[in-house]
Structure 1
Amino acid sequence: MIDHAQFTLYVNIVQLRLILSRQEVMNGLTRLVRARPICAVARHLATSATTLKTIKEPEYLDEGGPQPGTYGLVNICAKGMDYTVLEHYAKWVHNTAIAMDIEVTESWATPAKKMNVQVFKSQSNKVLHQHHLNVYQRNVQVIGMTSVETPVFLRVITAGLPEGVELCVQDHLPEHFEDRYIPDLQLKELRKQLDALGGPSTTAKRGR
């Protein structure tokens, strides 16, 4: 058994070791503070903590991804026999394109085409009814529509299509530009007569 004197000596030895350990820790901190200022130590600790929390992201996330394709000149053609309805629908298509940030280059009207509709009597050549109809056309030309905007835009203008109006979307061609002008029938007749006579003369006239 350990007597009281030995127990007291053992406790004193343990306390002395604890005191020496605390003294060594304090001496180490003192040397660290003397070697580097307190602000530098705090900055070093903060930087180390920030570095541990930082997540490295791949570089390709900051790069621009693939861009959607765009269309060139596209003509939106609306045909109908009711002039008033067709005119209002063409204006609505124009305003809808502008509201969707789609560039509208121009809008124009194509000369009306005349149709003659005849209804014959059953099993006969006798005409019962005859109607003269005018087919009007309005065109809205857009450019730069992306492959993302195009299906949405077409779905919107198709949903608002009035009854009796035919919608057509097509690429712009040179003949579409010529169709907007009213043909000169007299000039065409003169050209036909000139072709019947053998065409224009290629012989230059000599001056007297």
Structure 2
Amino acid sequence: MNPIFRKLQASFILHSRALDQAALLLRASVSVQLIQGPLTFANERQYRTMPTHGIGRYKHLIPKEAPKKKKERLQMKPIKMATDTEYGTLNVKVSGYDMILVEHYSQYIHNLCNRLGVKVAESYALPTKTMEVMVMAEQGTKMYIDAILKTHERIVQLSQLNATLCPIFMEVLLKNQPEGVQLSVKQHTEADYLDRFKARPELAGLMAQINY
């Protein structure tokens, strides 16, 4: 065989092998790209352009509530007058510096009324009163604050207390009265009703200017 022809045949075989290897590498790269392509595409958010149709919304499922009525201004209840057998509207006032003692004692009075069948019209707290105790130095005229005392008050309002039951009721209250707590019972008046509201002199001044 001609040596030139052999050389040409050998070079052709080498080129064909190189082309086959290149084709294999190209196919491998294409397959890798095809495998990686869907994975990267799956990580993307495809639902951004899709309608949600109310997903995550729940307010339309809750039944509509009726509009809340505006709170009416607290009106004073008519004061019941005393009769031959019953007292009228009475205010049992508990006051003291220790709020816990005052609160517990007023709850005890309320529970006692429930056990004895005494009607409790209302039970409420009065605004806390603050008093500053001033002390003067031994030498000099300057005064400084030594302590601040806060007086807490609770009202248990009774209605139609039986006259025969009243002495026994008061005796039980006095025997169970804790130390440091003051107790008083008086007829309910309009001034007592106004005391339950905190005074606002600046508002009263503005209202007076408007009315003027």
TM-score range, shorter chain: 0.5 to 0.7
Q: Secondary structure at the match of 1:147?
A: coil
Cα distance 1:124–1:163, how it changes in 2: closer, same or farther (>3 A)? Answer: farther
Offset at 1:120?
2.9
Deviation of 1:124 after TM superposition, in Å, equals: 5.8
1:102 aligns with 2:118: yes
Q: Does the Cα contact within 8 Å between 2:134 and 2:143 map onto a contact in 1? A: yes
CA contact (8 A) 2:87 2:161 kept: yes
Query: Shift in Å at residue 97 of structure 1?
Result: 1.1
- Asked if 1:182 corresponds to 2:179, the answer is no
Q: Is the 8 A contact 2:129 2:151 kept in 1?
A: yes
Structure 2: tracts of 5 or more residues without a match: 1-82
Task: Calculate the TM-score normalised by the size of structure 2.
Answer: 0.55
- Which residues of 2 match residues 1-208 of structure 1 at below 5 A? 69-121=85-137, 125-127=141-143, 130-190=146-206, 194=209, 200-201=211-212
Question: Identity of paired residues, percent?
Answer: 30
Shift of 1:189: 4.0
How high is the TM-score relative to the length of structure 1?
A: 0.56
Aligned pairs, number: 130
CA distance in 2, matches of 1:168, 1:174: 17
Q: In 2, Cα distance between the equivalents of 1:72 and 1:122? A: 53
- Does the CA-based 8 Å contact 1:76-1:170 persist in structure 2? yes
| Contact 1:111–1:136 (8 Å) recurs in 2 | yes
In the aligned structure 1, how far is the partner of 2:84 from the partner of 2:114?
20
The CA deviation at 1:158 is 1.1
Task: Please say if residues 68 and 146 of structure 1, whose CA atoms lie closer than 8 Å, have aligned partners that are also in contact.
Answer: no
Over 3 Å counting, the alpha-carbon distance change for 1:103 and 1:119 in structure 2 is: same
Residue identity in the other structure for 1:164: G
CA distance in 2, matches of 1:100, 1:125: 57
Mapped to 2, the partners of 1:124 and 1:131 lie a distance apart of: 20
Taking structure 1 as reference, are residues 125 and 159 closer, same or farther at Cα in structure 2, changes over 3 Å only? farther
Verify the 8 A CA contact 2:91 2:185 in the aligned structure 1.
Answer: yes
Q: Deviations over 1:77-117 (max 9, x none)?
A: 01111111111110000001111111111101000111111
CA distance in 2, matches of 1:122, 1:101: 57
Gaps of 5+ in 1: 1-66, 202-208
Q: d(CA) in 2 for partners of 1:188 and 1:138?
A: 26
1:68–1:148 CA contact under 8 A, matched in 2: no
- What is the letter of the counterpart of residue 75 of structure 1? N
Question: Are the counterparts in 1 of residues 132 and 145 from structure 2 also a CA contact under 8 Å?
Answer: no
- In structure 2, the CA distance between the partners of 1:105 and 1:124, relative to structure 1 (3 Å rule), is same
What SS does the corresponding residue of 2:162 show, helix, strand or coil? Answer: coil
**Judging changes above 3 Å, is the alpha-carbon distance between structure 1 residues 86 and 200 closer, same or farther for their aligned structure 2 residues?**
same
- 1:151–1:125 CA distance, 2 compared to 1 (3 A): farther
> Is the contact between residue 117 and residue 132 of structure 1 (CA under 8 Å) also seen in structure 2?
yes
> Matched residue of 2:174: which SS?
helix
